[in-house]
Structure 1
Amino acid sequence: MIKKGILVLALIFIAFSSHAQTINDFVNRGLEENDISQRLPQLDTLITIAKHNSPRLKFFDSDYEYWDGQIDLAKKAWLNNINLDAGYNYGIFDNLSNQQIAGDPGSQTLFSTEQSRYVVGASIKLPLSSVFNRGREIKNAKAEADKSKYQKEFAEWELEQLIVRQYNDLIKAHRLFFISNSIVESYKVQSVRADKDFANGVINVTEYTRLQQMLNQSISSFEAQRSEFLIALKSLEGTVGIKIEF
């Protein structure tokens, strides 16, 4: 009797192991056939697209361009202290006589002529502040430009890390989504058999209820995992800035 009991237990164990192995093989084959990473764009491609579409990186580009322009303005600020004036007048003007021009003090005669007059003048002033602060203003502008450049480099690194994480989260969510679906399908098959067994009196209401609860729980888990998959997909699309087709 003992040997017979051991034999029965061994057969049950073998059958259970075979059943579990069959399920594992099914899931593994399904995951291989439905490997989303084979249909997604390459990770490097997604990173490149994300950098091109990133509003944050565009902001740093504009900020760097602004401060790079401020460097040129600071270098040429001394030109603000140079003034060049020109004027033109046309009309009748009183002029000195030739004697007066020659220095004859006895000549008091002025004569009027119709003529054009041009006036050109230049002036320069150099406040001490513009002299001593020029170098500091140029250095400040360069420092701000460098800061924008380094901020962009750091933002690019952060963006790369985020995309790698979201990419892997999407693949993981899809795998769990597929596994959840496989579990639901397995419990649906069991549920059909449970309906027949319960109708034929093979199982009681307690066992039948337990199997139905397991099916409902697997469906609930499947829906939760489907939601996680969609969230992971939309998160990656939002970061990259395109709709991902697969």
Structure 2
Amino acid sequence: MQHFLLLLIGSIVLLGPLSAQDEVAFDLRPLDVLLQEAERNSPVLQFEKIDAELLYSDLRLLKKEWANYIAVSASYQVGNVQFIDNLSSGSTPDVRTVTRENVFAVAGVSVRIPLSDFLTKNERRRQLELRLDQERFDLHHKEFELRELVIRQYNDLQRALRILEIRDRDLRFHELATETAERYFREGSMGLDEYTSTFNKSNEAEIRLAEAQLDAQLLYLLLKELVGAEIKA
């Protein structure tokens, strides 16, 4: 067995260092960029921003509430009126038709302030201000939670990709060991038990690589979904 390991190590030295396959290793976009993407694309944060804007709009409307208590009215009318004048001068009657044009213009301003609205306005404004502050704090809290989750998943994915590279190198090492062991076995330089053990270790390395690939793929999809954009560089 020691003779086989020495021969295997010599073969690896001749071949040079093993590098990860292209589909195993890839670069991620910078963390700061992904954090900005996640905040911009998060539907939860967008919903919170809309709620805050609605409260701010209600507060502005409350400040303009005085306009509801003032009413301005005006009217303008033009009409023609005809009437007959029967004038008597001595014994001869004088009948005349007279047309007159009348113009009527009316304007006015009325003010009505409900006492309940007047007395509770300050309190209603204070409630809206507190609700707006609460909404802003909630928005900041959700932004913090989102950033924390992106950072955690980013680091988890980086760790998974590193493990994936290691598993890939490990499998390629065992594949080379299996090829060498098969040649020695055919030449009669290795027993069946040693060859079987080498072959089983290669299978175990392949299983570990498949598990690492699934873990990395899951973490990649989760982070991509969380960010709402491509995360590869």
Normalising by the smaller structure, the TM-score range is 0.7 to 0.9
In structure 2, C-alpha distance between the alignment counterparts of 1:129 and 1:112, rounded to whole Å = 54
Q: Are positions 1:62 and 2:66 aligned together?
A: no
Q: 5 Å matches for 1:97-112?
A: none
Structure 2 residue aligned with 1:150, among 137, 141, 154?
137
SS in 2 for 1:243: coil
Q: Which moved more, 1:46-55 or 1:214-223?
A: 46-55
Contact 1:81/1:125 (CA < 8 Å) preserved in 2? yes
Q: Are positions 1:133 and 2:139 aligned together?
A: no
- 245 and 212 in structure 1: CA distance in 2 versus 1, 3 angstrom threshold: same
- 82 and 220 in structure 1: CA distance in 2 versus 1, 3 angstrom threshold: same
| Structure 1 position 116, deviation (Å) | 2.9
Q: Are positions 1:167 and 2:146 aligned together?
A: no
| Structure 1 position 159, deviation (Å) | 1.4
Q: What residue in structure 1 maps to residue 189 of structure 2?
A: 202
- AA of the residue aligned to 1:47: L
What is the TM-score normalised by the length of structure 1?
0.73
Structure with the larger strand share? 2
Structure 2 residue aligned with 1:52, among 33, 40, 43?
40
Structure 2 residue aligned with 1:83, among 58, 71, 83?
71
Contact 1:78/1:130 (CA < 8 Å) preserved in 2? no
CA RMSD of aligned residues (A): 3.1
- AA of the residue aligned to 1:49: E
What is the TM-score normalised by the length of structure 2?
0.77
Q: Percent identity?
A: 26
Structure with the larger helix share? 1
Q: What residue in structure 2 maps to residue 211 of structure 1?
A: 198
In structure 2, C-alpha distance between the alignment counterparts of 1:117 and 1:140, rounded to whole Å = 48
Contact 1:167/1:236 (CA < 8 Å) preserved in 2? yes
| Structure 1 position 161, deviation (Å) | 0.6
- 92 and 58 in structure 1: CA distance in 2 versus 1, 3 angstrom threshold: same
SS in 2 for 1:202: coil
In structure 1, C-alpha distance between the alignment counterparts of 2:49 and 2:106, rounded to whole Å = 47
In structure 1, C-alpha distance between the alignment counterparts of 2:225 and 2:108, rounded to whole Å = 62
Contact 1:86/1:121 (CA < 8 Å) preserved in 2? yes
| Structure 1 position 187, deviation (Å) | 0.7
- AA of the residue aligned to 1:189: L
Deviations, residues 205-238 of structure 1 (Å, cap 9, x unaligned)? 3333332222112111111111211222222222
Instruction: Return 5+ residue gaps in structure 1 as ranges.
Output: 1-11, 95-110
